[in-house]
Amino acid sequence: MQNRAEAEKQRQPPSGQEGWGWVNPLAGPEDFLAGQGRHVLVTRPQPGLGRTMAALKGAGWQAVAAPALAITPVPAPGEGFWRTLLAAGCKAVALTSAQALPFLANAPRTLPLWVVGVKTAYQARQAGFGAVVTASGTAQALAQLCRQHGLVGGRVRLLTGRGDDGTLYNSALAGELQAERLLAYSVSHAQALPERALALARARQVHAAVFYSSESVRAFLKAWPGGESALLRGVEAWCLSSAIAGVAAPNAPWGQVAVMTDAP
């Protein structure tokens, strides 16, 4: 366990970085939290919800399910779809979320996948894909990597999702690659958050909420009870990226907004 000074030092950006604070949830609760609320709300949908909760519990937190989103996969196309696509000159598929992987259920496991980061890459390999190329964690990095290897236009397809408002994700990435998007899943916002999560917040027993996407931030705040935003003043927002932190920070009175250095 850490003392307060060590914990505050950990929240500082790495050398050469500026902007948001940083936090490592997997380091576990600091010792000065003894006797205080150690509950962490996990806002991501399944299947990631269960994995994140298990990792947080293993680190000493009391993880609480508070999914702000629901994912509906698009039915996976058959083997013939992929044969036709590859015969037409497609060399790879790019994706920015593991939520798109069920769309590839009938794709050949030799199909090259170019993915946004290591966690998506891990899930792709777990699904049996052997040719997985990993970018450094952002859509911009994925675009640059694809362009460097000539994966533009008809040589690549981009799997994407559709938001609650009907807008397709990854428009900038698709534009940079001049690539066709294939709809792999749809996202809808939760109408309400679990009562247990709200009860803990009202009892001032929530230390943080974990966000893996900008959409989850928007959905969480939309579902948060009206007139009770003051409860979030004692809650930290732990975000997967600085882009997500940029959505969280101005839209609620968080006690702290931080980017996770090691996401559970």
Domain's final residue, options 188, 214, 230: 188
Q: Which residues pair with 72 in a beta bridge?
A: 186
Tokens of 162: 């559709």
pLDDT at 36: 53
pLDDT at residue 221 is higher than 80: yes
- When pLDDT is cut at 50, 70 and 90, the band that residue 37 belongs to is low
Q: Does one domain contain both 56 and 93?
A: no
Number of domains in the chain: 2
SS (H, E, C) 149-175: CCCCHHHEEEEEEECCCCCECCHHHHH
pLDDT at 155: 98
pLDDT at residue 1 is higher than 80: no
Give every CB contact of residue 108 below 8 A, 6+ residues apart in sequence.
79, 82, 86
Q: Does one domain contain both 80 and 165?
A: yes
Domain's final residue, options 188, 218, 234: 188
Q: Is residue 4 part of a domain?
A: no
What is the spatial distance between Cα 202 and Cα 144, in angstroms, rounded to a whole number? 45
Interval 159-202: pLDDT, tens: 999 999 999 999 999 999 999 999 999 999 999 999 999 999 99
pLDDT at 31: 55
Q: Does one domain contain both 200 and 221?
A: yes
pLDDT at 185: 98
Q: 138: domain CATH number?
A: 3.40.50.10090
What is the spatial distance between Cα 98 and Cα 47, in angstroms, rounded to a whole number? 9
Tokens of 180: 């066709």
- When pLDDT is cut at 50, 70 and 90, the band that residue 216 belongs to is very high
pLDDT at residue 30 is higher than 90: no
pLDDT at 6: 44
Q: Does one domain contain both 253 and 211?
A: yes
pLDDT at residue 64 is higher than 50: yes
Q: Is residue 8 part of a domain?
A: no
- Among 123, 119, 84, 117, CA closest to 101: 123
**Do 189 and 162 contact (CB within 8 A), yes or no?**
no
Q: Does one domain contain both 27 and 91?
A: no
Longest dimension (CA), the chain: 62
Q: Does one domain contain both 31 and 88?
A: no
Element containing residue 211 per DSSP (H, E): strand 206-211
Residue, of 35 and 200, whose pLDDT is higher? 200
pLDDT at residue 96 is higher than 90: yes
Q: Does one domain contain both 245 and 152?
A: no
* Average pLDDT for 238-251: 92
Q: Does one domain contain both 136 and 208?
A: no
Q: Does one domain contain both 227 and 173?
A: no
Q: Is residue 5 part of a domain?
A: no
Q: Does one domain contain both 61 and 75?
A: no
- Report the chain's C-alpha Rg in angstroms: 20
- When pLDDT is cut at 50, 70 and 90, the band that residue 145 belongs to is very high
* Domain ranges, residue 150: 71-188
Tokens of 198: 């709200």
**Do 118 and 262 contact (CB within 8 A), yes or no?**
no
Q: β-strands 180-189, 69-73: how paired?
A: antiparallel
pTM: 0.82
pLDDT at 150: 98
pLDDT at 13: 43
What is the spatial distance between Cα 139 and Cα 198, in angstroms, rounded to a whole number? 33
Interval 107-122: pLDDT, tens: 999 999 999 999 899 9
pLDDT at 198: 97
Residue 143 to residues 45, 131, 184, 248, 253, Cα–Cα distance (Å): 26, 18, 19, 25, 34
Q: Does one domain contain both 205 and 184?
A: no
Q: Does one domain contain both 159 and 230?
A: no
Q: Is residue 166 part of a domain?
A: yes
Domain's final residue, options 139, 157, 188: 188
